[in-house]
Amino acid sequence: MKCNVHQGVALTSGLFYDGKAIPSSMKVNADCGAVMVEMEIAALFTLGTMRGIRCAAIATADGNVFETGNYDPHGTIVAEGKINMMKAGLRVAASLSKEMAQEEDPSIFEKNLQDKYLDTFNTKNLCDYFKEISELNAD
């Protein structure tokens, strides 16, 4: 699999372009080292950190916020990027499963939390789960 790979800081933001009311911070963030902007990854890593769950993210570019008219979310380059993301994700998952099989305790997160989460998801609906989050984190 041949593809361009970049590693670095991602900026999570729902505001990509300058507006009349709120200016964009894309240029400032790019100057500070952000190599991409996206809308969800920070939430994934925040929850992973809070819960002690190992996380990873892969992204493909669908445009350049600094080049007007460069946005093409349905083009060939993005489609190929999505295929490469899936291939890379499957390779990472396979590698991780082999690594975890060698560990004494292959759980993704701590056993006591795992048991509490499983109990909550097996006996409660999603609303009840959110009400009990503070109790799960109390330990």
Q: Characterise 63 by phi-psi region: left (phi > 0), alpha (psi -120 to 50), beta (else).
A: left
pLDDT tens digits, one per residue of 36-60: 888 888 888 888 888 778 788 888 8
Determine the pLDDT at residue 9.
Answer: 84
Radius of gyration over every alpha carbon of the chain, rounded to an integer in angstroms: 19
Residue at 2 is within a domain: no
Give the Cβ contact number of residue 37 at 10 Å: 20
Of all residues in the chain, the percent with pLDDT exceeding 70 is 73
CA-CA distance, 104 to 111, in Å (whole number)? Answer: 12
Q: Is the same domain home to 96 and 46?
A: yes
Q: Is the same domain home to 53 and 74?
A: yes
Residue at 55 is within a domain: yes
* Residue 86 C-alpha from the chain's centroid: 14
Please check the confidence at residue 79 and state whether its pLDDT lies above 80. yes
The number of distinct structural domains making up the chain is: 2
Residue at 72 is within a domain: yes
Average pLDDT, the chain: 77
Q: What is the mean pLDDT of residues 82-110?
A: 78
**String of b and e for 1-11 (b: at least 16 CB within 10 Å)?**
eeeeeeeeebb
Q: Is the same domain home to 62 and 120?
A: no
Please check the confidence at residue 118 and state whether its pLDDT lies above 80. no
Do you know the residue count of the chain? 139
Say what the pTM is.
Answer: 0.57
Residue at 3 is within a domain: no
What range does the domain containing 81 cover?
9-104
Determine the pLDDT at residue 25.
Answer: 82
User: Residue 137: how many CA atoms within 13 Å on its side-chain side?
Assistant: 12
